[in-house]
Amino acid sequence: MQSIPVWNHLPRARMTQAILVVCVCLVAGKIIGLGTFEDAYITFRCSENFALGHGLNYNPGERVESSSTFFYALLVGAVERWLRLNPILTGNALNFSALLFILWMLAQRARPPEEGMSARAVAVGFWYAATHPALWAYAHSGMETVFFTGLMFAGFLGLLEMVETGRGAGRAGLLFGLAAITRMEATAFMGLAAGLAVCFGPKERRLIGPLWLLLCFVAVFAPVLAWRWTYYGYPFPISYYVKVDGGGLLLAKRGLFYVFTWLILNPFGTATLGLGIRFIHRRTALPRRVTIGLIWIAAYLAYVLSVGGDYLPFGRFLVPIIPVLSLIGADLWPRWVEERAAQANPSRRLTRRRIIAYLAVSQVWAVIFPFQFFGLLHELGTASTWRQVGKAIHRRIPDRDVTLFSFTAGALPYYAKLRCHDGLGLTDPVLAHKKVELGKGIPGHEKADVRRIFDLRPDLIAYQSFGKKVRIRTLPHYVTDESGQKVFVDAGGKAHPLKARPNHQGETDLFSQHEIMMSLFASEEFLSRYQLMKLKDPALQALFFVRRDAKPRLKAAFVPFAAPDEN
């Protein structure tokens, strides 16, 4: 009964515990190899251009908001510009500061919901957030996810202060404003916060408080929106048009699967929601903060369902609800312990131990869940591979006027320091605004179009990079021709009958790629302009298409690709 009250009365102890958890995250993350995700380099490239005086743009001279997180990118760029700190280091510092804030506030607010209830069960809420693999992974990722989560949680706590005391509306509005210029979805939750303040706030301030909340929010958000619309020509970041614009029922269907997968991936969080629904169904008197938290989480699930989610591991779009789940869990789980004890079921101590065991199993399950674990490995591996290739390109290609085309717009362009256009639309307004029905393919990849290559005429096209010991085979992956038959298509565009040639250990199909990239080899026009070549680097097998009429200095960095013919 003494552990949680100690947190409440000794701020230094609360802070020490939160700092300890963050330090463990840092050390453990480095030990197990957590690092920067591929998509984070898009933001870092925009921040670096801002630091160099080129504006918050992906390519100097092109007004394209490739980074979907204005405030985060601006902070990283400003620190690099005036303090000369590395963007990746700054991004990690912002994310870990946000994680520290989240844990500190959870520890500070953890208290038994009623006199006599189990204080130790309250700590379960804190440890749910402190040990959640999503917060660990994204704190190291370089992406804005944890930073945004901290802003949203701070705004949510401001909303609770408004409801409980009638104060703090201005601070909550400013926090939601900062969250909205970090990621646009915060605008919708600002509206929800105002509605909740009207419904649950003190009667004497049910209009004044929400009005002041909205005014402070607009003071932060409106100038940025006006500048964005004027400077870039669009009200939303380009990623919105790539991933959401054009969505419908198919996108919602994918979002439903995304939310369902997240609920399976997070059994403890799902159980917390189930407890809340159970208490409401039984008409148990719950504090307003719990009711508001449940409404908040339900709205967030509905939002993610409508936009379809994304492909990154651990349910990135739903990370912002983890602190809110932790907060209401600190209220719900002690109630459940007391309910079980009142029914002459297992003792409070045994029930608490079962809850802790369930929490531990839940967090381990979230890590080993196949799609998430391998997704994390793939994301880290992709970034690591293209980081090495980008550094090699920077060393071997002295000309800075070379143009690169890539379907990975992150680590490769960031380290290569070349002008780059991507084939997904994250740096290209033409592709981003292409009319496509979303929801059928990989999120963020559905507007890909290799025909843009003929319009942009890049000097280099990144194809793939393989490990040094991998044997690359010339025959492509199986494809389906117009008659519905599976065939091979070789580098000359010629079809071959299907032959059972499985991949063996240490081998890879040269064409085990997205079908869009494979289609390049079937285009005579493309092959007449570009040649498949390998970067001159003994440590890499990096394949690029190089313009046949490229400058000799560019071609000197490559050798024609040749692999054993298996025909």
Segment 285-294, tens digit of pLDDT: 888 999 999 9
Give percent of the chain above pLDDT 70.
Answer: 82
Residues 387 and 412: their CA atoms lie apart, in Å, by 6
Name the residue among 69, 141, 153, 138 with its Cα closest to residue 106. Answer: 153
Residue with tokens 């990096």: 542
Residue 497: which H helix or E strand, with range? strand 495-497
Residue with tokens 């929800």: 192
Q: What is the pLDDT of residues 490-532, one digit of tens each?
A: 545 555 554 434 344 444 555 545 566 766 766 778 888 999 8
The pLDDT value given to residue 471: 59
Q: 80-97 b/e with 16+ CB inside 10 Å = b?
A: beeeeeebbebbbebbbe
pLDDT surpassing 90 at residue 115: no
Name the residue among 316, 330, 269 with its Cα closest to residue 121. Answer: 330
pLDDT surpassing 70 at residue 383: yes
Confidence band of 264 (pLDDT split at 50, 70, 90): very high
- Residue 123's CB is within 10 A of a number of other CB atoms, namely 23
Contact 307, 317 (CB under 8 A): yes
Locate 206 and state its tokens: 């049910």
- Residue 503's CB is within 10 A of a number of other CB atoms, namely 11
The pLDDT value given to residue 492: 53
Confidence band of 437 (pLDDT split at 50, 70, 90): confident
pLDDT surpassing 60 at residue 4: no
CA trace torsion 202, 203, 204, 210 (10° rounding): 70
pLDDT surpassing 90 at residue 434: no
Q: What is the pLDDT of residues 123-182, one digit of tens each?
A: 788 889 988 999 999 999 999 999 999 999 999 999 999 998 888 899 999 999 999 999
The pLDDT value given to residue 398: 76
What residue spans of 308-426 are helical by DSSP H? 322-342, 348-368, 370-396, 411-416
pLDDT surpassing 90 at residue 442: no
Query: How are beta strands 507-509 and 471-473 bridged, if at all?
Result: parallel
Q: For the chain, give the mean pLDDT.
A: 83
The pLDDT value given to residue 6: 34
The pLDDT value given to residue 467: 62
The pLDDT value given to residue 409: 87
Confidence band of 368 (pLDDT split at 50, 70, 90): confident
The pLDDT value given to residue 309: 86
Across the range 60-68, mean pLDDT stands at 89
Give percent of the chain above pLDDT 90.
Answer: 46
Q: What is the pLDDT of residues 384-421, one digit of tens each?
A: 989 999 999 999 987 778 999 998 889 999 999 999 99
The pLDDT value given to residue 510: 55
Q: What is the pLDDT of residues 295-318, one digit of tens each?
A: 999 999 999 999 988 889 999 999
Residue with tokens 């690709």: 561
Cα 444 to Cα 176, 187, 477, 487: the distances in Å are: 26, 22, 23, 29
